[in-house]
Amino acid sequence: MADQFVYTFATLIAAKPEAVKVERKDVDDTFSEITVIADKSDTGKLIGKDGKMISALKSVISGCKAKENRAYRIVIKSHDE
């Protein structure tokens, strides 16, 4: 649920939505890492000025945390990394 929301959010923000990929890695029963891989030019947009965009995304995901009893970490990467 959270990874699908992050994918939808990222494609709406990105200038090249076709280059956006989201991967979810379950670390254990209560923790998952969501990695957003986007074009290098879009990583700044996804992070936002002073990190405000990614911070807002993390706030929305915290609602999923309460519902699913799972913590999430969101990582933004470019295709070059």
The pTM score is: 0.86
pLDDT for 15: 93
The 10s digit of each residue's pLDDT in 27-53 is 998 899 999 999 999 999 999 999 999
Query: What gap in Å lies between CA 48 and CA 36, rounded to an integer?
Result: 14
The 10s digit of each residue's pLDDT in 50-81 is 999 999 988 888 887 777 788 899 999 998 75
For the cut 90, the answer to whether the pLDDT of residue 8 exceeds it is yes
**Are the CB atoms for 64 and 34 separated by under 8 Å?**
no
Token pair in block for residue 44: 């700044």
Domains in the chain, please, with CATH? 2-78 (3.30.300.20)
CB within 8 A of 56, min separation 6: which ones? 48
